[in-house]
């Protein structure tokens, strides 16, 4: 093994990545005869290359790099729309970031720098698909032939039918776009598409988003070149959203009709799915308060029929598990007061609904439905909420069978027939590795291995000093189990403690997966790191999430304090030197923790925090707090600005960090807090990043901000207690 070295921030964010290569976007060919994926380039963890795997009876898998990510780059500057879309997708890589299969499985199509290409596999020929003057968004192929569609300058275009690309819509205008998701759909509903070919290829359904009802405001992005005013229609909570229209194009004739979908003007259109028979669309619709999720069938003559509805006294979470079945009915998932379960719904036929998963199972994501075999593959949890497995369920309701095992975190991708799988496995002691498997989960080949004990592994020089975290649990005040992950230095201590917090809904941080290597940097400084998934966090079901309804930052903070109390008497725990650190909702939580109990914390680091929930967006904020008009007390109680007295009792304990081009949690959140602290004569430290968006992504910026964090904590931990 290589000589042991101290892990530095400079090395942590350099290439090659210490956790090994990143593999993502596994996509099987339509007939399941090949597999393509993206993989970080050797020696450059920020660039993605396109890879292909094929197999036969003689060879389980043959792999090759098809296109290097830097081979096609034009170096063109991204437009603001492209930057915003990448931010919504959390795409922080260079190179090839989007691709899909042509419908015959003989070619791959990809977009790079706004140019659409087709790569024919038989001869490795690369052909440009889009005209020279087009910037391509959302390249999508039609089923059954070589046609494709994309968005250029806010309208839909069609190509691949033997001639030049032709314009399908002429609806684009200032604030109006066709075929691209609006801000709320992309950022909060996680619906990244806005047009859909019918299975028979005859029709194209699409959305037109009109954002002009949202008042235009100027976001002043500070960059290294100066101040740039960016016009943005940000949907502040309680205000208007974009207006959506659902269009249907018959491609052969160009006939366009507009279809009804709303019950109320403020309804959300969360999901659109074609029926397998191409004679109808299935829509998932929510009212503004999100307490219902309605499944609707929309025929092509405009007849809208309710098929199913879920209800909640708080909110209904969205999902991507709806699968219409050719044999009748559909696969569906729902929480209904507890963890998410699978159901078989009747659609047009008579018959009862059937629950497919038993108590004790938590369904996280459907991978594939094998209707001919009566089976469904999904990611789920059986007994340990911190572990995730690949499970095979049955449409007749028989108990699911796990295809993976161990105290680990698994993610999967499946071929259309379910006979081939890619399984990613990571654990507390092993970074992600990828296996190509048969339909039973038996490995056939290795896509990427990550043996940490191999002398050539990037992390090998740092392995001997690594501290493996422990996972345990304690109980919340209502008796529900709260899981924590603790990483601490060797020895008896006492050690300073960093409470690393996110705490918000929609995320689960305490898992059996590979933990953040940043925590190893903290441990080598002599600091312990404690993480806790408080109530309100994802992955546990409705009863675990809903205590935060109409009040944010109260229940979550009490649970975090319960974790501190749990360890307060431990000999390694230095109760006089505790810091709290978080980003985004975690930044909000860091401020709330410090304000609620300034005597408990020597330091707080708050990155890109929400400080005033009236400044955040509609769909996210109103899901939990409802509108400011209907719950003004909840907004007041959930903010940070009303808690200045608590922050004033911890002078100098706060480091505030924010990207100055953040279009999600606007920089205004921090400027308002800064102004309030200054007016109250409260000392604090601030680090702002010109040009950086919400993630403050990139090796240089990451190294700098965590360097600032470590230097700040080191000062605070060594100063005399106030």
Please give the positions annotated as active site.
584, 662, 694
And the tokens for 139?
A: 């390249």
Q: Which residues contact 115 (CB under 8 A, 6 or more apart)?
A: 72, 74, 128, 130, 136
177 vs 79: CA distance, rounded Å = 15
Mode of pairing for the β-strands spanning 495-500 and 528-532: parallel
- CA-closest candidate to residue 342, choices 386, 378, 389, 382: 378
Tokens 């499970």 found at:
391
Spatial neighbors of 435 by CB under 8 A, at least 6 apart, are 422, 423, 425, 443, 444, 445, 446, 447
**Nearest to 269, CA basis, from 248, 292, 287:** 287
Segment holding 66, helix H or strand E: strand 62-67
Six-digit token string for 641: 């600005």
Asked if residue 132 has a cis previous peptide bond (ω within 30° of 0), the answer is no
Rounded to 10°, the helix 555-567/585-596 angle is: 70
SS3 199: coil
Report the b/e string of 409-420 with b at 16+ CB within 10 A. bbbbbbbeebbb
Which helix (DSSP H) or strand (DSSP E) does residue 284 occupy? Answer: strand 280-286
Q: Are 595 and 647 in contact (CB under 8 A)?
A: yes
Name the phi and psi angles at 307, rounded to 5: -105, -40
């Amino acid at each position: 093994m290589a000589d042991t070295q101290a892990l530095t921030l400079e090395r942590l964010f350099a290439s090659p990545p210490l956790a090994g290569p990143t593999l993502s976007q596994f996509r099987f060919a339509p007939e399941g005869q090949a597999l393509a994926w993206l993989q970080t380039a050797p020696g450059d963890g920020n660039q993605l290359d396109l890879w292909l795997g094929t197999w036969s009876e003689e060879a389980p898998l043959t792999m090759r790099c098809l296109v290097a990510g830097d081979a096609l780059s034009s170096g063109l500057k991204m437009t603001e729309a492209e930057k915003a879309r990448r931010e919504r997708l959390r795409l922080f890589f260079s190179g090839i970031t989007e691709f899909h299969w042509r419908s015959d499985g003989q070619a791959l199509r990809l977009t790079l720098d706004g140019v659409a290409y087709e790569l024919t596999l038989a001869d490795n020929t690369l052909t440009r698909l889009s005209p020279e003057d087009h910037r391509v968004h959302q390249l999508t192929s039609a089923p059954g032939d070589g046609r494709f569609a994309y968005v250029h300058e806010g309208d839909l275009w069609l190509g691949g039918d033997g001639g030049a690309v032709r314009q399908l819509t002429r609806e684009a205008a200032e604030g109006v776009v066709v075929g691209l998701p609006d801000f709320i759909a992309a950022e909060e509903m996680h619906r990244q598409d806005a047009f859909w070919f019918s299975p028979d290829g005859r029709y194209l359904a699409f959305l037109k988003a009109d954002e002009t009802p949202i008042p235009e405001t100027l976001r002043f992005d500070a960059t290294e070149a100066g101040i740039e005013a960016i016009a943005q229609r940000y949907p502040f909570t309680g205000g208007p959203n974009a207006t959506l229209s659902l269009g249907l194009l018959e491609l052969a004739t160009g006939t366009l009709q507009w279809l009804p979908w709303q019950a109320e003007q403020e309804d959300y259109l969360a999901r659109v799915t074609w029926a397998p028979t191409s004679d109808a669309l299935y829509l998932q619709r929510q009212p503004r308060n999100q307490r219902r999720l309605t499944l609707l069938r929309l025929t092509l003559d405009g007849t809208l029929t309710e098929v199913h509805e879920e209800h909640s006294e708080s909110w209904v979470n969205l999902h991507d598990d709806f699968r219409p079945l050719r044999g009748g009915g559909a696969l569906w998932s729902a929480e209904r007061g507890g963890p998410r379960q699978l159901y078989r719904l009747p659609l047009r036929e008579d018959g009862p609904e059937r629950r497919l998963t038993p108590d004790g199972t938590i369904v996280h994501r459907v991978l594939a439905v094998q209707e001919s075999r009566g089976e469904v593959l999904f990611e789920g949890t059986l007994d340990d909420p911190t572990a995730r497995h690949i499970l095979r369920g049955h449409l007749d309701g028989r108990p699911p069978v796990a295809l993976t095992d161990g105290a680990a975190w698994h993610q999967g991708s499946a071929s259309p027939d379910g006979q081939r799988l890619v399984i990613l496995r990571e654990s507390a002691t092993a970074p992600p590795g990828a296996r190509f498997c048969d339909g039973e989960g038996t490995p056939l080949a290795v896509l990427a291995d990550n043996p940490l004990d191999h002398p050539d592994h990037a992390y090998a020089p740092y392995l001997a000093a690594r501290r493996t975290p422990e996972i345990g649990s304690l109980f919340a005040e209502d008796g529900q189990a709260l899981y924590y992950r603790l990483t601490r230095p060797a020895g008896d201590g006492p050690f300073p403690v960093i409470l690393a917090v996110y705490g918000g809904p929609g995320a689960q941080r305490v898992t059996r997966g590979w933990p953040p290597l940043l925590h190893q940097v903290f441990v080598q400084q002599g600091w312990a790191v404690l993480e806790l998934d408080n109530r309100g966090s994802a992955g546990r079901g409705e009863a675990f999430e809903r205590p935060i309804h109409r009040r944010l930052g109260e229940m979550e903070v009490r649970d975090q304090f319960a974790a501190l109390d749990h360890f307060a008497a431990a000999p390694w725990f230095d109760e006089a030197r505790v810091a709290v650190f978080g980003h985004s909702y975690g930044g909000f939580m860091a401020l709330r923790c410090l304000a609620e109990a300034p005597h408990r914390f020597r330091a707080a680091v708050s990155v890109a925090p929400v400080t005033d929930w009236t400044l955040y967006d509609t769909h996210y904020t109103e899901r939990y707090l409802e509108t400011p008009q209907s719950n003004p007390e909840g907004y007041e109680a959930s903010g940070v600005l009303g808690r200045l007295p608590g922050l004033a009792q911890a002078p100098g304990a706060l480091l505030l960090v924010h990207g100055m081009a953040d279009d999600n949690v606007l920089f205004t959140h921090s400027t308002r807090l800064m102004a309030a602290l200054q007016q109250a004569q409260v000392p604090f430290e601030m680090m702002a990043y010109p040009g950086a968006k919400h993630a403050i992504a990139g090796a240089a910026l990451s190294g700098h901000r965590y360097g600032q964090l470590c230097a700040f904590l080191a000062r605070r931990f060594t100063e005399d207690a106030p």
